[in-house]
Structures are given as C-alpha cells and as structure tokens.
Amino acid sequence: MTLTDLTPALTRFENAVAEVDITTALAVVEEALAAGADPVTLLTEVVVAAQRAVGDRWQRGEWSVAREHAATAVATAATEAVTRQVRRLPVTRGRVVVACAEREWHALPAMIIDCALRSDGWDTTLLGASTPALRLSQYLQDLGPDALAVSCSMLGSLPTARRFIEAATAAGIPVLVGGPAFGADDLRAQSLGATAWAPDAAGAIQALRTIPPVVAPAVPLPDGPVTEQAALDLAHTELLTTITSDWPGDAFADVDLARDCVDLLLHAIWAALLTADPRAISETVWWISELLNSRGAPPHLPNALHTTMTRALRDYPLAGALLTTAWPS
Ligand code: B12
C-alpha cells in the first residue's frame, strides 16, 4: 500500500512545528511511513514544505530567529526519524559523501539529500554543516567515494563549493550539486565545473543514477573574475562595515538586518563573478527589497544601497560593472 495524499500530514506537521511539539511531529512522519508513504515524498512534501513556510514567516517579520531555530529542531528530528527507517534498507550501490560547503550552516537540506540517496541504495556519509575544504579532501582520500554531493543554500558558500569541486574532480570523483544558491537551473553548477545539478531530492536520485563514474579535473575559472572575487573576499569585513555604516539602512532600526542585507549582496557579487550569472545579484536585490518592505522600511533604501555599494566598490571594476547591469530597475 502507498500513501499518496500527504496534505493532512502537512497540516498536522505544520501545527506541530508552530507549537515546537517534537513528539507530534515524529508521530506524523512515523504514521505516514507506516501507512506506506514514500520517504523522499514525505520529506519533500511535508518537512521541506513546512521549512519553507517557516522561512517565509521569518522574512515577513512574523517569526523571530529563535522561533525559526526551534522549528528547525523539529524538522531535523523528523528527518532523522525518516533516515533511521531508510537505513534499514540494504545498500545496493556505491558510496557517496554528502557535504555542505564551507560557510554553509543550512545543514538540513544536506540531511534530506543524504536520506534520499540512502533510500535509493547508496552508502552515504553525511558530513556536518560548513565542512572545511581541507577536511573534505581528507575524507575523499580516506573513503574513496564514488561521488560527492554538495549542498549550498547561501551564495557566499559557492566559492568554497568550487574548491570542493576542484578537490574531488582532481581525484576523478564526480560531483553532484544543488540547493537554492545554485539557482533554478544548471548554469551556476556548470560554470563552477560540477558534474551534475538537480533541483530537489528526487532529482538528486535520478542524477546520481546516471552520473559518469570518473571525471576529468575541473577546467580553471577565468583569471579576472577569480582574482577580483578573491580580493573582495579578503576585504570583506572592511567592506561590510563601511557599506553598512554608510548606507542609511539603520533607518529601519535594525542594524543586524541591515548588515545581513549588505553581507548577502557582497556574496551575490562573488557568486556572479565566479559563475558569470548576474541573476545572483538581481535575485538578492529582490530579496532585500521584500525584506525591507515587510519591515516597513522607506522605499528608497534599496536604491540608496545601490549608490553606497557602487561608491564603496569603485576599485573593483568587474563588480562595479555587474552592479550597473544586474541591478533590477
Ligand atoms: C532553518 C533556516 C536556517 C537555520 C539552518 C539550520 C539548519 N540546521 O539547517 C539557520 C538559523 C542556521 C539559518 C541561518 C541563516 N539563514 Co536561513 N533559513 C532557514 C530556512 C527557514 C529553512 C532552510 C531549510 O531547511 N529549507 C528546507 C530545505 C530542505 O529546502 P531547500 O534548501 O530548498 O532544499 C531542497 C533543494 O534546494 C534541493 N537541494 C538542497 N541541497 C541539495 C544538494 C544537492 C546535491 C542536490 C542535488 C539538491 C539539493 O533539494 C532539497 C530538498 O528537495 C530558510 C527558508 C527556506 N525557504 O528554505 C532560511 C533561509 C535559507 N535563510 C536565510 C538567511 C538570510 C539566513 C542568514 C543569513 C540569517 C542570519 N543572519 O542568521 C543565516 C546564514 C547562515 C549561513 N551562512 O549559512 C534566507 C536566505 C535568503 C537569501 N537570499 O539567500 C532564507 C531563504 C530565509 C528567508 N526567507 O529569507 N537559517
């Protein structure tokens, strides 16, 4: 028997998340599994859907960061419960290492991908959030996996994802990438030299089934953008402080939020430089505008940020050009 309509489970799970009721959340996933729900569908249609709703509530200012943390603890416990069941299935394929790039603290998406791949018979090893590139290289040497899966939610983790791709492909190991930072298509993944990209957990399963067993080392990225991204990375703390204090973002009385906006925008520039995908910038500007709008900030703030940013980045010509061309009107 298979359970296909997960709508009632989602409603109960969302209520449990809102109440931070781990017992009920675990009961929802365990009952759905016992009723024949497919583990990957259960994760994507219930746990992931509920997590996205949590993010939307934070973005609209309805939920605090503390509440978001508590909700994530519930989702993590539910994912672990599904993974425990899935680990009883026999291993029928090779070994995959699943990792978050360095600077990436969104660990739950990697947990979900780990669970999905394990359910398809892969012998998976899940590394934690923000895996240092050196530690990853050591794991690749020690475990000799058949593939590496890398999850990135934040644009700021794409440069280290590139380092992971270099380390793995230098040893012939194919790399599957995914997560919101890679965007809605495979352009960024291809630019960074990944072997494959997929949009979700079901896509990850399909992509690994057909991934080549051995790959060539990733082609070097173009010198100019790489050099400028490295310079921006070195100057990041200084730029972040200068831009945050010059931009009248504190007009809406939340310095932390203003700092996050500037931080994410600087990271979007890194991402656009390394992947040649200017959408990283325009998408981040939209995100900032919605965030400011939902907090009742004055409407001129995004444009003021553009002016401040352009002035601060005058010594970075490629970044400056991207700010001109990619900033949505
Ligand atoms: C929980 C959460 C956190 C937690 C994470 C805890 C944890 N253990 O995971 C904490 C508190 C650490 C956190 C921190 C931050 N967060 Co946060 N977070 C979230 C939240 C609410 C849920 C994330 C999640 O679990 N989603 C569910 C997952 C499973 O869905 P998914 O990521 O889309 O994954 C699917 C696919 O993308 C794909 N996939 C994912 N990985 C991979 C890998 C491979 C190989 C493949 C093939 C596919 C694949 O398959 C998955 C399943 O189908 C999101 C909201 C949201 N919309 O997701 C915000 C969100 C991602 N966070 C956001 C922000 C801003 C931050 C912070 C900057 C805020 C702050 N100052 O604290 C920091 C940055 C930390 C960092 N550098 O990493 C923003 C990002 C906006 C942007 N433009 O980038 C979001 C979107 C919130 C929002 N609505 O604005 N966050």
All structural domains of the chain? 1-88 (1.10.1240.10), 90-220 (3.40.50.280), 223-326 (no CATH)
* pTM, entire model: 0.96
What residues form DSSP beta bridges with 123? 95
**Site to substitute for ligand 1 among 111, 125, 153, most atoms within 8 A of C-beta:** 153
Helix %, strand %, coil % for the chain, to 5?
A: 65, 5, 30
Q: For 25-29, 37-41, 54-58, 207-211, which range has the lowest pLDDT when averaged over its residues?
A: 54-58
Name the residue at shortest CA distance from atom 2 of ligand 1: 106
Atom 41 (ligand 1) nearest CA: 179
Helices and strands counted in the chain (H then E): 16, 5
Residue located nearest, by CA, to atom 90 of ligand 1: 59
Calculate what percentage of the chain has a pLDDT beyond 90: 85
- Give residue-wise pLDDT tens across range 239-286: 999 999 999 766 666 778 899 999 999 999 999 999 999 999 999 999
For the stretch 188-206, pLDDT in tens is 999 999 999 999 999 999 9
The tens digit of pLDDT for each residue in 127-155 reads: 989 999 999 999 999 999 999 999 999 99
pLDDT of res. 120: 97
The rounded Å distance from CA 106 to ligand 1 centre is: 5
Radius of gyration of the chain (CA): 21
CA 183/CA 74 separation, integer angstroms: 26
Cα of first residue to Cα of last residue in the chain, in angstroms, is 53
> Of ligand 1's atoms, which has the minimum distance to the CA of residue 116?
52
Mutational pocket test of ligand 1: of 17, 102, 106, the residue with most ligand atoms within 8 Å of the beta carbon: 106
CA distance 316 to 297: 29
H or E element that contains 289: helix 279-294
Tokens, residue 147? 């593939």
- Whether the per-residue pLDDT at 25 is higher than 70: the answer is yes
Contact (CB, 8 A) for 85 and 170: no
Contacts of 35 (CB under 8 A, 6+ apart): 1, 3
Rounded CA gap, 177 and 211, in Å? 12
With 60 as the cut, is the pLDDT of residue 1 above it?
no
In sign, the C-alpha dihedral spanning 12, 15, 21, 25 is positive
1 Cα to the center of ligand 1, angstroms: 33
Regarding the beta carbon of 282 and ligand 1, being less than 6 Å apart is answered no
